Amino acid sequence: MLLTTTDLRTDYEVLGIVRGNKVKAVHLGKDIIAFFKNIFGGDISEYEELFSSVRDAAVAEMVSEAEQLGANAIIGIRFSSAQIGSNMAEIIVFGTAVKL
Protein backbone atom coordinates (compact mmCIF):
# COMPACT_ATOMS: atom_id res chain seq x y z
CA MET A 1 0.00 0.00 0.00
CA LEU A 2 1.42 3.35 -1.07
CA LEU A 3 0.89 6.09 1.54
CA THR A 4 1.64 9.71 0.71
CA THR A 5 0.79 13.17 2.01
CA THR A 6 0.83 14.58 -1.54
CA ASP A 7 -1.18 14.03 -4.70
CA LEU A 8 0.19 11.78 -7.44
CA ARG A 9 1.02 12.88 -10.96
CA THR A 10 -0.47 9.80 -12.53
CA ASP A 11 -3.89 8.46 -13.40
CA TYR A 12 -5.88 6.93 -10.58
CA GLU A 13 -9.44 6.06 -9.66
CA VAL A 14 -10.73 7.77 -6.52
CA LEU A 15 -12.47 5.27 -4.23
CA GLY A 16 -13.32 7.55 -1.33
CA ILE A 17 -12.13 9.06 1.91
CA VAL A 18 -10.72 6.66 4.49
CA ARG A 19 -9.84 7.35 8.09
CA GLY A 20 -8.41 5.85 11.22
CA ASN A 21 -9.28 7.08 14.70
CA LYS A 22 -7.79 5.83 17.97
CA VAL A 23 -7.96 6.98 21.57
CA LYS A 24 -5.56 5.53 24.11
CA ALA A 25 -4.81 6.20 27.76
CA VAL A 26 -1.47 6.06 29.49
CA HIS A 27 -1.06 3.95 32.64
CA LEU A 28 -1.36 5.98 35.87
CA GLY A 29 2.18 5.02 36.91
CA LYS A 30 3.59 6.37 33.66
CA ASP A 31 1.52 9.52 34.10
CA ILE A 32 3.12 10.09 37.52
CA ILE A 33 6.63 9.58 36.07
CA ALA A 34 5.81 12.04 33.27
CA PHE A 35 4.60 14.57 35.86
CA PHE A 36 7.96 14.52 37.64
CA LYS A 37 9.87 14.73 34.35
CA ASN A 38 7.78 17.79 33.53
CA ILE A 39 8.93 19.45 36.76
CA PHE A 40 12.62 18.61 36.36
CA GLY A 41 12.79 18.72 32.55
CA GLY A 42 13.80 16.20 29.93
CA ASP A 43 12.15 14.02 27.34
CA ILE A 44 8.85 12.51 28.39
CA SER A 45 9.21 9.11 26.72
CA GLU A 46 6.01 7.83 28.34
CA TYR A 47 3.94 10.21 26.20
CA GLU A 48 6.16 9.76 23.13
CA GLU A 49 5.49 6.01 23.28
CA LEU A 50 1.76 6.63 23.76
CA PHE A 51 1.47 8.91 20.72
CA SER A 52 3.60 6.60 18.58
CA SER A 53 1.47 3.54 19.33
CA VAL A 54 -1.80 5.46 18.87
CA ARG A 55 -0.59 6.91 15.54
CA ASP A 56 0.47 3.49 14.25
CA ALA A 57 -2.88 1.95 15.24
CA ALA A 58 -4.82 4.76 13.52
CA VAL A 59 -2.78 4.36 10.31
CA ALA A 60 -3.35 0.59 10.38
CA GLU A 61 -7.10 1.18 10.73
CA MET A 62 -7.07 3.61 7.79
CA VAL A 63 -5.10 1.19 5.60
CA SER A 64 -7.51 -1.63 6.47
CA GLU A 65 -10.47 0.54 5.44
CA ALA A 66 -8.73 1.41 2.15
CA GLU A 67 -7.97 -2.26 1.43
CA GLN A 68 -11.66 -3.09 1.90
CA LEU A 69 -12.41 -0.57 -0.87
CA GLY A 70 -9.86 -2.24 -3.15
CA ALA A 71 -7.36 0.61 -2.96
CA ASN A 72 -3.64 0.18 -3.47
CA ALA A 73 -2.71 3.72 -2.36
CA ILE A 74 -3.84 6.49 -0.03
CA ILE A 75 -3.03 10.04 -1.05
CA GLY A 76 -3.33 13.39 0.72
CA ILE A 77 -2.87 11.88 4.17
CA ARG A 78 -3.33 14.25 7.10
CA PHE A 79 -2.99 13.75 10.85
CA SER A 80 -4.82 15.47 13.68
CA SER A 81 -4.43 14.98 17.41
CA ALA A 82 -6.28 16.01 20.52
CA GLN A 83 -6.04 15.54 24.25
CA ILE A 84 -9.23 13.92 25.51
CA GLY A 85 -8.33 13.90 29.20
CA SER A 86 -5.28 14.41 31.34
CA ASN A 87 -3.84 11.03 30.34
CA MET A 88 -5.59 10.19 27.04
CA ALA A 89 -4.60 10.95 23.47
CA GLU A 90 -6.65 10.83 20.27
CA ILE A 91 -5.11 10.60 16.83
CA ILE A 92 -7.16 10.91 13.65
CA VAL A 93 -5.61 10.15 10.28
CA PHE A 94 -7.42 10.51 6.97
CA GLY A 95 -6.73 10.50 3.26
CA THR A 96 -8.15 9.59 -0.14
CA ALA A 97 -8.15 5.91 -1.11
CA VAL A 98 -7.24 5.43 -4.76
CA LYS A 99 -6.54 2.62 -7.19
CA LEU A 100 -3.54 3.22 -9.42
- 46-71 pLDDT per residue, tens: 667 777 888 899 999 999 999 999 99
The answer, as to whether pTM is greater than 0.85, is: no
Fold of 2-99: Translation Initiation Factor IF3 (3.30.110)
DSSP string, the chain: -EE-SS--SS--EEEEEEEEEEEEE--HHHHHHHHHHHHH-S--HHHHHHHHHHHHHHHHHHHHHHHHTT-SEEEEEEEEEEEEETTEEEEEEEEEEEE-
- 3-34 pLDDT per residue, tens: 999 988 889 999 999 999 888 776 556 656 65
Return the domain boundaries, the chain. 2-99
